[in-house]
Amino acid sequence: MSSPSPAVPTAASVPSPATAPATSAPAVSARVGSARAVSSGPTVAELLDFVRRSAEDAALIASLPLDPEGRTWVRLDGPGGSEAWLIGWPPGTGTGWHDHADSVGAFTTASGTLKEHSLAVRLPTDGWKTLELNEGVDRSRELAAGQGRAFGQNHVHEVLNESDSVHAVSVHAYYPPLPRIRRFIRTRAVLRLEQTERPEDWQ
């Protein structure tokens, strides 16, 4: 869902899945480009290559229905059994803080501009509710059309469209397919676990 709820990620990196996403969308599947399936699954570099090539597919990007009120998304056929999403971001929308559990991933902005805030910290996997963050862990980057990034397991971030007038569209891919998304509330230096979502919550 940078993830559908892409972004999953309100929810995308997929779609909250940014991401699973946060609104309902048509159940459409598309095959984009071609990617080599690897027995052990695609590498992070292969996921990044896939989302970059998909973001350059003008017909694919134009096929996404956009909603002025909430994010929309379409599931894609990712390489090597990965989970992939095409996500539309109305002005002023975002995913909220979340991670992607044990999945690695990548996303690329296809149109508009997205902002990613992330934490340079590895969170405990389970058994905690609040965590005090050290100074200097915050990272921020702006991703204009054609720009993307890859990330490893337990990557904590939020993805936003900060424009007040322009939609953004992005492509996200995760491997293995997202087993869960943990959502967090950030209050200054304190990160609090709010909820854990499973695939049935966004598919």
Residue ranges in the chain whose pLDDT is less than 70: 1-39, 203
Give the pLDDT of residue 125.
Answer: 73
Supply the pLDDT for residue 21.
40
Instruction: Decide if 14 contacts 7 (C-beta within 8 A).
Output: yes
So what's the pLDDT on residue 203?
65
What does the alpha-carbon distance between residue 194 and residue 182 come to, in Å, rounded to a whole number?
Answer: 8
47-75 in b/e burial notation, b at 16+ Cβ within 10 A? Answer: bbbbbbbbbebeebbeebeeeeeebbbbb
**pLDDT given at position 8:** 35
Q: What is the CA radius of gyration of the chain?
A: 15
Residue type at 168 in one-letter notation:
A
Closest-CA residue to 110 (of 83, 73, 140)? 73
Q: Are 82 and 173 in contact, with CB atoms under 8 Å apart?
A: yes
pLDDT in tens, 39-72: 489 999 999 999 999 999 999 999 999 999 999 9
Cα→Cα distances 188→48, 58, 94, Å: 31, 40, 18
